[in-house]
Structure 1
Amino acid sequence: MALYAAAAAVLAGVESRQGSLKGLVYASSFQNVKQLYALVCETQRYSAVLDAVITSAGLLRAEKKLRPHLAKVLVYELLLGRGFKGRGGRWKALLDRHQARLKAELARLKVHRGVSRNEDLLEVGSKPGPASQVPRFVRVNTLKTCSEDAIDYFKRQGFSYQGRASSLEDLGALKGKCFLLDSLLPELLVFPAQTDLHEHPLYQAGHLILQDKASCLPAMLLAPPPGSHVIDACAAPGNKTSHLAALLKNQGKIFAFDLDAKRLASMATLLTRAGVSCCELAEQDFLAVSPSDERYRQVQYILLDPSCSGSGMLTRQLEEPGAGVPSKERLRALAAFQQRVLSHALTFPALQRLVYSTCSLCQEENEDVVQAALQQSSGAFRLAPALPSWPHRGISTFPDAGHCLRASPETTLTGGFFIAVFERVEVPSSVPWAEASAPDLRPSRAPKRKKRRQKAAAAPSTGPDT
């Protein structure tokens, strides 16, 4: 199967230092990058265990044409993953011949190490920490369906709907085929950690977006009203862009920029599947975009999620085993870029509101960048309070830390994230004021059953949205 061949190629590339795991995944020709990314990460996490089992079982001696990286991927899927479940073709048939021996060697390895669970075979540092307890967040794409219909669809599939969550404990306690509605975002469903929905028909049809809760906050806090003109300055891979389009109800305009052609192509596929029609993609460096360009004279909202160290990403330890805080040199280079792009964004003449976000935990990329940009703006912008009820704020060494928002697996059961919301202090006389006040972000009521439900979620189309 193409998935397993692609995963083996990525593993080989990582081992030979051809690039980062994520970079190689995006550079592959495999269409479902998230599925490929998840498979490679888990195979790499169990790499030492798989090597031991493959060697003990003599798999490569018996199957001389089977390459080591492909063998590792296939054995992971057989013993530790989802199994082949009717797919895998000739690889499944090959592994079936050795299945009994491979399972016996895995069991023998557990006995030898005195453990009973697969996870207990992992070395210290490879075992899942708080990140493994982060629930699976699923954003309902309101361009194609609604939360009520998505909930009903899952209930018909045998899932137990537990209503709206009231606390973090509710999210952490999810198990089995149970799910909740998030307490903050009315379009966000919450499933137990490790729930895999990549092959679910609603996801494949673009009715659902698999997106971490923290990653949903930037678009929600920007809150552009329908009809607005918005810039997504560093847009790929596109989840936040599709969220912006949903908030706009496809009414208005999104100018989305990114320099990586392959990531932009994947993003175009994602937006098409999600039914986004208000977005204009450009393979361009945002720093080269002129604020005086007539095309952007109505842009009042900018979402800026620039390249960063990724130190808050849930899978970072899988990409770079043992990786800790990025080097000072790399942080300085990243922070310098982030400050340039943020200061550039703040020069757009009609801008009223900007959300700056990163998936980094480092002060140099977050509070320090924001503070420098505020000083450079000479009082034209200030920080708006970002969800005052959110439990995790900015680092207190920054004077406006209370206005900033941080997220982490330990404190909010999400990925690591930082967000600051800039708003213009004075409205330019030449620009009409629109949506000047901060959006009302109070949780809405859980959806009730309508007398006549829409049909979209009940019978999704998987035809053209690819």
Structure 2
Amino acid sequence: MALYSAAAAVLEGLERGDGGIKSLVYNSRFPHVRQLYALVSETLRYSPVLEKLLSGSALLQAEKKLPPQLAKVLVYDLLFGKGLKCGGRWKALARRHRARLEAELARLKVQQKVSRNEDLLAPAASPTASQLPRYVRVNTLKTCVEDVIDFFKRQGYSYQGKADSMEDLRAISKKKFTSDLHLPDLLVFPSQTDFHDNVLYTSGHIILQDKASCLPAFLLDPAAGSHVIDACAAPGNKTSHLAALLKNKGQIFAFDVDTKRLATMNTMLMRAGVTGFQLAQQDFLTVDPRDPKYARVTHILLDPSCSGSGMVTRQPGEEAAPSPERLQALAGFQRKVLSHALSFPALQRLVYSTCSLHREENEDVVHAVLQEQGSAFRLVNAFPSWPCRGLSTFPGAEGCLRASPTDTLTQGFFVAVLERCGEGAAALSSLPVAAKENLQHREGTGTTAAAPRKRKRKKQRVKE
């Protein structure tokens, strides 16, 4: 049972955009990492087939308490894997439906005119998926970029300086690495470089986080001392990023409904040296915006459940293709949770993000909620130098950001920044301070470029 639950949790993390397979598996604390990794990879490989089997057999309608990702894992192992060697009550549940699942599998083979299970699979994912760089965020709560660069140089890596273009990132190979051209605390290594056993990772000095996943906290840009809500927080990479931006000054309220994910998140945050946070096992929609506890919340990061269609795995896996009904249901939930977030009375700035490629979950959600809000909030033209913008589905939608493997060498992502208008609105710029300095240094402004701020070297300098 523990294996199937752990695999389902990894799949849920992938769907939310919490990280790649390796990082989620290693952070799961499941004792048999290879076994878990293999099960997740194979379930992903068969994901489109499993979606059809679940839909055709109506398993989720018959077993309403069965989580969708757990259903995928169980059906994979029942029909394509080892035949459910473990699983407790879920094993018994799946076996009750074995006849209808096998009948649906047979029907699918006849429909596609194939005889083998393997022949049901689509061609392998494009090479682009395996060429994404390995992004490493320096955890500035414990160290600084300069010290991490020095450490990797002592380990035999060749530092190439700061990247000037996307082509510089594409050119990274072998034991070379560079500083990212957009985000100041991000280092870029060749694709699939593994740091899970590196002392910097195990000690919390670096965070393995996709570049697109770093955008929400970076663009929220809360000042030190701010009170911030991370509405859908687990497994905690974005929360730890918020804490680094806050310099551990202020307060973070982080919510998630899953006890195990919160426990994992607590361990991760402690390892990263995060203080001043409160974790709550609670659906964000049930949080009372008028509770005095949240009277000083000025910033909210909202990364709700989505289709996960932008996630590109480094192992065999397929892009999610949700049904129109599934998309409609997700978009309805996303509009509801975004409207709820905007009801916090002291809120000044909010970042809404998804790891989805679908307009229904992205521009359409933002547009609908902005129309509901009237003139209370506006869409910020965030990060003007970012190369991929929102789809032109409504006036100003280009102020949103999109990310993709081909254009930005990241997972597929969407980010929108909203801020309060009128009286009481904070004097917030459309671009974080760090990004401004980064752009000045790279592009020039006709005046003297701002010198990069020197960081004080931390006491916790890592030694080999």
Aligned to 2:462: 458
- 2:326 corresponds in structure 1 to 330
Secondary structure of 2:311's aligned partner:
coil
**Is 1:442 aligned with 2:436?**
yes
Q: Cα deviations across residues 83-116 of structure 1 (Å, max 9, x unaligned)?
A: xxxxxxxxxxxxxxxxxxxxxxxxxxxxxxxxxx
1:385 equivalent among 381, 387, 400: 381
Task: Report the alpha carbon displacement of residue 435 of structure 1 after superposing the two structures with TM.
Answer: 5.1
Q: Give the Å deviation of 1:434.
A: 5.0
Aligned equivalents of 2:407, 2:26: Cα separation in 1: 35
Cα distance per residue 1:379-405 (max 9 Å; x no partner): 100001111111111111232221000
CA contact (8 A) 2:308 2:320 kept: no
Kindly provide the amino acid, as one letter, of the partner of residue 339 in structure 1: R
Report Cα offsets for 1:126-158 as digits up to 9, x if no partner: 244322111000000000000000000000000
Q: Which runs of 5+ in 2 are unaligned?
A: 14-20, 47-80, 84-120, 443-450
Aligned residue number for residue 22 of structure 1: 11
Match of 1:315 in 2: 313
1:279 partner letter? F
Residue 278 of structure 1 and its aligned partner are, at CA, apart by 1.3
Deviation of residue 416 (structure 1)? 0.4
- After TM superposition, the structure 1 = structure 2 runs for residues 38-437 of structure 1, keeping only pairs within 5 Å, are 40-41=39-40, 125-315=123-313, 318=316, 321-428=317-424, 434=426, 436-437=428-429
Distance 1:266 1:189 in 2: 25
What letter matches 1:308 in structure 2? C
Distance 1:292 1:127, change over 3 A: closer
CA contact (8 A) 2:130 2:314 kept: no
SS at match of 1:291: coil
Partner of 2:330: helix, strand, or coil? helix
Amino acid at match of 1:171: L
Q: Identity of counterpart residues, as a percentage?
A: 57
Whether the 8 Å CA contact 2:125–2:318 is kept in 1: the answer is: no
TM-score using structure 2 length:
0.73
- Aligned match of 1:62: none
Between the aligned partners of 1:297 and 1:451, the Cα distance in structure 2 is: 33
Q: TM-score, normalised by structure 1?
A: 0.73
Measured in 2, the distance between the counterparts of 1:34 and 1:232 equals 31
Secondary structure class of the residue paired with 2:238 = helix
String of CA shifts for 1:302-356, please: whole Å, max 9, x gaps: 00000000000112984xx555421111111110000000001111111110000
Q: Which residue of 2 aligns with 1:107?
A: none
Measured after TM superposition, the shift of residue 455 of structure 1 is: 5.5
Number of equivalent positions: 371
**What's the counterpart of residue 51 of structure 1?**
none
Give, as a single letter, the amino acid of the residue that structure 2 aligns with 1:355.
V
| Whole-Å separation in 2 of the counterparts to 1:393 and 1:450 | 32
- How far 1:436 sits from its partner (Å)? 3.0
Paired residues of 1:310 and 1:316 also in contact (CA < 8 A) = no
Inter-CA distance 448–398: structure 2 relative to 1 (3 Å threshold): closer
Give the Å deviation of 1:29.
9.8
Q: CA RMSD in A?
A: 3.3
Contact 2:210 2:410 in 1 (8 A): yes
Distance change >3 Å, CA 344–CA 135, structure 1 → 2:
same
Q: 1:223 and 1:366 mapped to 2: Cα distance?
A: 21
1:322–1:223: structure 2 CA closer, same or farther, 3 Å change rule?
Answer: closer
CA distance in 2, matches of 1:124, 1:311: 16
Contact 2:230 2:252 in 1 (8 A): yes
Work out the CA distance in 2 between the residues paired with 1:34 and 1:383.
46
Return closer, same or farther for 1:138/1:323 CA change in 2, 3 Å cut-off: closer
The 8 Å contact of residues 232 and 303 in structure 1, kept in 2 or not, is answered as yes
Q: Residue 325 of structure 1 aligns to a residue in which SS?
A: coil
Distance 1:222 1:395 in 2: 21
- CA–CA separation in structure 2 for the residues paired with 1:189 and 1:160: 12
- C-alpha spacing 1:45/1:270, structure 2 compared with 1 (3 Å): same
CA–CA distance in 2 between the matches of 1:193 and 1:214? 15
Q: For residues 337 and 279 of structure 1, what CA distance do their matches in structure 2 show?
A: 26
Larger mean Cα displacement after TM superposition, 280-289 or 321-330:
321-330
Do the aligned residues in 2 keep the contact of 1:160 with 1:177 (CA within 8 Å)? yes
What is the CA–CA distance in structure 1 between the aligned matches of 2:314 and 2:327, rounded to whole Å? Answer: 16
Distance 1:13 1:278 in 2: 29
Measured in 2, the distance between the counterparts of 1:33 and 1:390 equals 41
Runs of 4+ deviating beyond 4 Å: 23-30, 32-47, 321-324, 445-455
